[in-house]
């Protein structure tokens, strides 16, 4: 569904990603783990069209995706939940969700909103409340819900557990598994490496902008180098 082949990207003359190759297949959760500054956010932003690749190729759903407009990629089903969530703080839950469905016919949005409320019942209870009054966990649920309103084929999540308690982290990661079970592929970036690896069908370890290890998530979690560098063992 998504293939990156030897993608290089960065900011101005500063090269951050060095020929990275990553693949996400239908029905998979794929995790990218790595230290602060390894280039995880830059990878997602490059896939989403926010950073232009300088070489290599990106293919999504059979079509070239590298360097395309972010809004066109959203319409084709490539949707990012950014780091920091970027909610409309003074808008209600319902209004935030409607904004997420901007690329679709209004008539199709009611069913999608019901699906989001089924996944996160707290959002239904608080549908009229403005987003800025929410806890971090509820805001993350809303950010994921808003992305689902665009009907993604591939959902990319940048550090969804940042700032959340262990209980809420578990709730958010569990929701991500349920989203995958509805047929949406997931590309997950996490510093919380142990959970991100445990739940990943496949995973990549990024170091200084290069992929240094890849394999089934639970298998990588057993790798001595990964255990020492990312799992504190």
Q: Please enumerate in sequence order all residues whose Cβ is within 8 A of that of 29, keeping only pairs 6 or more positions apart, or say none.
A: 176, 177, 180, 185, 186, 188, 199, 200, 201, 217
User: Are 33 and 196 spatial neighbours (Cβ–Cβ below 8 Å)?
Assistant: yes
Helix (H, G, I), strand (E, B) or coil at 74: helix
The label of the residue with tokens 């409607």 reads: 98
Q: Which of residues 180-219 bind ligand ATP (CB under 6 A)?
A: 191
Among residues 11, 105, 106, 224, the one that binds ligand ATP under rule CB under 6 A: 11
Sheet holding 154-158, edge to edge: 78-81, 154-158, 185-190, 29-33, 202-207, 210-215
Residues 20-49 that bind ligand ATP (CB under 6 A): 34, 36-42
**Beta carbon nearer to ligand ATP, 11 or 106:** 11
Residue 43 CB, shortest distance to ligand ATP, in Å, is 7
Q: Is 112 one of the binding residues for ligand ATP (CB under 6 A)? A: no
CB of 9 to ligand ATP, least distance (A): 10
Which CB atom, from 40 or from 151, has the smaller least distance to ligand ATP? 40
- Interface residues with ligand ATP (CB under 6 A)? 11, 14, 16, 34, 36-42, 191
């Amino acid at each position: 569904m998504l293939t990156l082949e030897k993608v290089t990207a960065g900011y101005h003359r500063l090269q951050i990603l060095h020929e990275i190759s990553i693949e996400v297949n239908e029905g998979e959760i794929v995790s990218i783990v790595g230290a602060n500054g390894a280039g995880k956010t830059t990878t997602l932003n490059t896939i989403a069209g926010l950073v232009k690749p300088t070489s290599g190729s990106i293919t999504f759903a059979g079509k070239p995706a590298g360097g395309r407009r972010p809004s066109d990629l959203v319409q084709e089903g490539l949707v990012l939940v950014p780091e920091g969530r970027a909610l409309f703080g003074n808008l209600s839950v319902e209004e935030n969700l409607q904004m997420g469905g901007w690329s679709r016919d209004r008539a199709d949005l009611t069913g999608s909103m019901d699906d989001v409320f089924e996944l996160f019942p707290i959002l239904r209870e608080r549908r009229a409340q403005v987003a800025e009054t929410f806890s971090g966990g509820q805001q993350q649920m809303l950010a994921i819900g808003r992305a689902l309103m665009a009907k993604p084929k591939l959902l990319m999540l940048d550090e969804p557990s940042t700032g959340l308690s262990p209980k809420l982290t578990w709730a958010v990661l569990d929701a991500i598994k349920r989203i995958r079970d509805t047929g949406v592929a997931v590309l997950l970036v996490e510093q919380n490496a142990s959970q991100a690896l445990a739940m990943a069908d496949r995973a990549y370890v990024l170091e200084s902008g290069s992929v240094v290890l890849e394999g089934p998530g639970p298998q990588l979690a057993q790798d001595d180098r990964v255990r020492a560098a990312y799992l504190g063992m």
